[in-house]
Amino acid sequence: MDRRRFVALIGSALAAPLVRAQAANRVYRIGYVSTYPSQKPSRLLAAFLDGLRALGYVEGKNLVFDHRHADGKPERMPEVMRELATSNPDVIVTGVNAQTRAARQATHSIPIVMVIGTDVEAEGLVASLAHPGGNITGLSWDVDLKNLSKRLELLKEALPALSRVAVLWDRGQDAPALKANYERAGAALGLSLIWIDYTAELEQMFRIAQRERAEALFAGGGARLYANRKNIVALAAKYRLPDAYYTGEFVEAGGLMSYAPNLPARFRQAASYVDKILRGARPADLPVERPEMIELLINLKTAKALGLTIPQSLLVRAERVIE
């Protein structure tokens, strides 16, 4: 070994502990974006922070948590993302596709971890699930498009005579490719889908559903529907519409059924992506993770109130039944 190479190796060996010490003492800045403000951490944000704490990241110690929101107005998301990007966080964490798209428009260099990515290849958010190829990685919400449509199949199984379904649709939040997928699934099941765009005047959506003779309710997804889940579930009960949702929190609030990944668990898992990136991994090289399990939740209290008898074939497949 020549002298120059020997000196370089010795220098690297001596420098390694210093580099590790500097990394251990560093304070990281995480940008987190939501559509709505909150006086206290939501269940989802709390799950994400729990995941970070389990990995050794503590706010006020080695973590600055920069939480921005769009004040309930998805159209403000691009502006919020631009403001967040100027603060130069180490990682930006997003939820639904609309937030991720806004983050990508704001920066092509800051790593972005999405938590509720939907049909992300078709939406152009990543080159592929295995090799994202840009500054975006994280978690996909769907196992595949067939499973996204499974919720309609389960609703039909619970209500065999069902023919007309009102779909609450939030243009500001959902992936456009989903609409065509739901249409195909509905046609295969002999269902007419009645598309009802989100409005802040929630009861107006239900009056439209009633006018269009809807027999059940299907929530298409989105942060605004999620934030209003208790009111939406209450209105579904008022208008006597059996309802199927994209996350179990609606069922816990009184909805009839859901078929979806465990949402808080997905936010907790997102912390591991943040950790890998802070340790030096490139988003382009981190495969997007699909859910390992989709849970069926059924609320028998709600079924009884609606005068429904849920088939035993559904009950035995449910991960949780609320009685």
Q: What is the mean pLDDT of residues 130-151?
A: 82
275-279 long-range contacts, Cβ below 8 Å, gap at least 24?
Answer: 275/52, 275/55, 275/57, 277/90, 277/91, 277/111, 277/113, 278/28, 278/57, 278/90, 278/91
pTM for the predicted model, two decimal places: 0.81
pLDDT band of residue 173 (cuts 50, 70, 90) is low
Residue with tokens 């009102």: 166
The DSSP call for residue 290 is P
Kindly list the domain boundaries of the chain, sorted by start residue: 25-141+264-285, 145-260+295-322
- Convert 254-272 into a string of H (helix), E (strand) and C (coil): CCCEEEECCHHHHHHHHHH
- DSSP 3-state assignment of 282? coil
CATH topology of domain 25-141+264-285: Rossmann fold (3.40.50)
* DSSP secondary structure letters along 48-67: HHHHHHHTT--BTTTEEEEE
Q: Please tell me the distance from the alpha carbon of residue 44 to that of residue 47, in angstroms, as a whole number.
A: 5
Backbone angles phi, psi at 244, to 5 degrees: -125, 135
pLDDT digits 0-9 by tens, 251-262 = 999 999 999 889
Residue with tokens 């080159």: 127
pLDDT digits 0-9 by tens, 16-70 = 444 344 445 799 999 998 888 765 668 889 999 999 999 999 999 999 999 999 8
Residue 174, token pair as written in the block: 């959902």
The more confidently predicted of residues 93 and 227 is 93
Q: What is the mean pLDDT of residues 104-119?
A: 94
Q: 80 pLDDT exceeds 90? A: yes
Strands (E), the chain: 28-34, 63-69, 91-94, 112-117, 136-140, 164-169, 192-197, 216-219, 243-245, 257-260, 295-299, 320-322
The more confidently predicted of residues 90 and 179 is 90
Q: Please tell me the distance from the alpha carbon of residue 13 to that of residue 1, in angstroms, as a whole number.
A: 16
Q: Do domains 25-141+264-285 and 145-260+295-322 have the same CATH topology?
A: yes
Contact 174, 222 (CB under 8 A): yes
CATH class, domain 145-260+295-322, is alpha beta
Q: 188 pLDDT exceeds 50? A: yes
